[in-house]
Amino acid sequence: MTNYALTIDAVGSGGGSGGDELIAGGNGDRERLARAGLSRVVEPGDIAALKAFDGMPALEIWDRLRQRSRGLERWSTRLAEVDPQRDLERAAAAGARFIIPGDDEWPDAVDVLADAGQLSRRAGAPFGLWVRGRAHLRHALKRSASLVGARACSSYGEHVAAELSAGLADTGVTVVSGGAFGIDAAAHRGAIAASGLTIAFLACGVDVSYPKRNSALLSRIAEDGLVVAELPPGCSPTKLRFLARNRLIAASTQGTVVIEAAIRSGALNTAGWAEQCGRAVLAVPGPVTSRMSAGSHLLVRERNAVLATSVADIVEAISPFGAGLTRSQRAPETLADTLDADLQRTLDAVPVNHPAPATRIAVTAGLDLPTTEQSLEALAALTLITQTPTGWRLSPTSPPQSPT
Amino acid sequence: MTNYALTIDAVGSGGGSGGDELIAGGNGDRERLARAGLSRVVEPGDIAALKAFDGMPALEIWDRLRQRSRGLERWSTRLAEVDPQRDLERAAAAGARFIIPGDDEWPDAVDVLADAGQLSRRAGAPFGLWVRGRAHLRHALKRSASLVGARACSSYGEHVAAELSAGLADTGVTVVSGGAFGIDAAAHRGAIAASGLTIAFLACGVDVSYPKRNSALLSRIAEDGLVVAELPPGCSPTKLRFLARNRLIAASTQGTVVIEAAIRSGALNTAGWAEQCGRAVLAVPGPVTSRMSAGSHLLVRERNAVLATSVADIVEAISPFGAGLTRSQRAPETLADTLDADLQRTLDAVPVNHPAPATRIAVTAGLDLPTTEQSLEALAALTLITQTPTGWRLSPTSPPQSPT
């Protein structure tokens, strides 16, 4: 049992000054403070908030909450402890910034969640995003795919996640995942190993190492890529926060690839969000004997996910229509494959070792003698067969006739 | 290299008398003899024959060939050696019968090939079928599926073929395959092990053991099930005969399941025939790291095959529309899953071990106190949480809150 629910979010206990340069921005300051405050007061994806604040500017929501307006009591309990200025400073001290809609770095892709909200009880666009790392979030997400899957994955899943991730990184695709054990970690590591960009969306504060044993990995991601969260610094993950976080992973990338997932899996939740957001949904197949691939197969069978067997499959799916199309794997044609039916039948009837006369070959092939003789000449011209004093035989170099 | 092309078909060299009772049948005698003769003279799926004899009754074709009619020289070379009466006797000696359209045992399903002929160069319905075994061919095929795949399959493929086959046999589905090594053999064995019916369609005579190392298996299939071929006794397989045989496997069953297949594989040819014949096409997924599953994945990605992960998937696909539908695998719902959003948030905020007061839980949950208190009462009524003198905690029996 995971006891993250135990930890009560530490509010504004972080120290350090500075960070003013990060929260500066002219008349954006009040807006930024309001959104930072809201990111602590309103739970991610709170559908009641979506209804109560529908279409209301963030500044107005913030003011109303602070004025203890009637009907908004639901969000009053946390208000007393909220200090957005202190949160921004605390973030800056942890090397993080808080970006909001209108910022150059804001990833417009997540705005789709404002609409998707009608479809689910854990929707809504985030008030802002807390970001740790040097990369430019919007640019990094421009060509990106989410690789998600089971925590308790198999070594097959781990291998495939790392390989696909490295391959995507090689083609300049940013790999997004959730920073968890298993598939997530393998995906992040694969991209890092290939010197590519990777982004972890967390269900806690960007300064919180969850899970603890992934601390080193998360630090590395923040160094080379980005660690992103909609919850302010210090927040702990909860079950609902994981689910709400999934919607950000799905919305912010062009496609979500489920690598291994049991039937009951958060990865399927992310795939559902990707579908609702109009993003590509892919699933990597695996052995039907593996419980860990059952979720992937379910997605393909019942939810029309695209089967992902290679980097090329993923690139094709996340590319604009017509771009990134890959040639499909085709059987390599051998010369014998290109022969017409009579030539092929004649070739089939020519002995491998002991030469046979044309009359015998005609009977074996079930063709008349003139047709057979004509075919034998053609096959000889192609050097597939050889004439000997006692008849015809296959050339030693003739390709093997594998029965199919 | 397989040297089956070396063996020149032994014509009518089989001995033994008897078998008259098998070829009797009133005015069907001449028709049967004509078709038996044609089955030796005309190569399976010979498109030139389809064109030359289009719509012509078998008796007339046979008479014209024997009269050495102009334009039919192509089929003259084998005529001198053909003796259908002797072939029928030889078959009877080997425990086989020759069935033709109109016989009660004739599987009407293969008649679709008369039309499919327009689509390919190796089509056409067979003139007749040579059958070894006690079962009734048409009845046996009434509810049937073909399991096909690579000869050089992996142990995963072999395992899955045997398991699916046994499962199908358990539900009364006849398992059809090609009697080859690998997937074919595993499929036949799986059905036999489950005391089910299995049918092998061969690319040679029903009295020919090809491949040799499968002799015991083929004898066993003929004993418990059926061995079927469109080629007369004594014929050897050739590359083209394998391809022509594939069309019978595809046409005679309600669906073809490709279990493991490389990109270049006869199983994909069978799948193509199934598609042309309007039969269900399924493919079993496997590791994307396995060359042996590449053909299966190709079928799903590019040719719209149904992903087959279980016996139920196959039964659903081969059943008439609406019948045989299986309930899909769903995540088992826990009580906690059925809670509404406020209850779930409250539950998330209740500590596992050290009780917390409602005021603290309200802050953690981000809910107002009245809503929190109401939720706590509801959760206690469901026995998910327990009240203690110092506050609320999870009940010891509460289901684990796996992060998703």
- Say if the Cβ atoms of B404 and A354 lie within 8 Å: no
Adjacent-strand bridge partners of A391: A388
- Give me the pLDDT at residue A8, please: 38
Quick one: what percent of chain A has pLDDT higher than 70?
Answer: 85
Q: Residue B31: pLDDT band by 50, 70, 90 thresholds?
A: very high
The reply to whether B284 touches chain A by the CB within 8 Å rule is yes
Q: Residue A397: pLDDT band by 50, 70, 90 thresholds?
A: low
* ipTM confidence score: 0.76
- Give me the pLDDT at residue A3, please: 35
Report d(CA B69, CA B66) in Å as an integer. Answer: 8
Give per-residue pLDDT as tens, A266-276: 999 999 999 98
Task: Give the full edge-to-edge strand order of the sheet including A226-229.
Answer: A96-99, A129-132, A226-229, A198-201, A174-177, A144-148, A255-258, A280-283, A306-307
Chain A residue at shortest CA distance from B358: A77
Evaluate whether A35 touches A58 at the Cβ level (below 8 Å). yes
- Give me the pLDDT at residue B16, please: 36
Q: What does pTM read for this prediction?
A: 0.78
Query: Mean pLDDT throughout A253-261?
Result: 98
Q: Residue B374: pLDDT band by 50, 70, 90 thresholds?
A: confident
**pLDDT of B7 over the 50 cut:** no
- Say if the Cβ atoms of B352 and A3 lie within 8 Å: yes
- Give me the pLDDT at residue A337, please: 64
Query: Mean pLDDT throughout A14-39?
Result: 65
Q: How far is B178 from chain A (nearest CA, A)?
A: 11
CB neighbour list of residue B30: distance below 8 Å, 6 or more residues apart: B59
- Give me the pLDDT at residue B18, please: 37
**pLDDT of B274 over the 80 cut:** yes
- Give me the pLDDT at residue B19, please: 37
- Say if the Cβ atoms of B5 and A350 lie within 8 Å: yes
Answer left, alpha or beta for residue A251, where phi above 0 means left and psi between -120 and 50 means alpha.
alpha
Which of A312 and B5 is assigned the larger pLDDT? A312
> What backbone phi and psi angles, to 5 degrees, belong to B392?
-105, 145
**pLDDT of B397 over the 70 cut:** no
User: What value does the mean pLDDT of chain B take?
Assistant: 86
Evaluate whether A122 touches B342 at the Cβ level (below 8 Å). no
Adjacent-strand bridge partners of B177: B200
Distances (CA, A) of B36 to B94, B98, B231: 16, 7, 9
- Say if the Cβ atoms of A363 and B78 lie within 8 Å: yes
- For chain B positions 226-245, those within 8 Å of chain A (CB to CB) are 237-240, 242-243
Give the domains, in start order, of chain B with CATH numbers: 105-318 (3.40.50.450), 335-394 (1.10.10.10)
**pLDDT of A89 over the 90 cut:** yes
Of A43, A263, A368, which has the smallest distance from its Cβ to B329's Cβ?
A263
Which among A160-174, B205-219, B333-347 has the top mean pLDDT?
A160-174
Query: Mean pLDDT throughout B158-172?
Result: 98
Adjacent-strand bridge partners of B328: none
Q: How far is A260 from chain B (nearest CA, A)?
A: 11
Quick one: what percent of chain A has pLDDT higher than 90?
Answer: 58
Report d(CA B40, CA A355) in Å as an integer. Answer: 24
Cβ contacts of B74 on chain A, cutoff 8 Å = 367-368, 371
Report d(CA B19, CA A61) in Å as an integer. Answer: 94
Best A65, A77, A183 residue to mutate vs chain B (most B CBs within 10 Å): A77
Token reading at A313: 């499959």
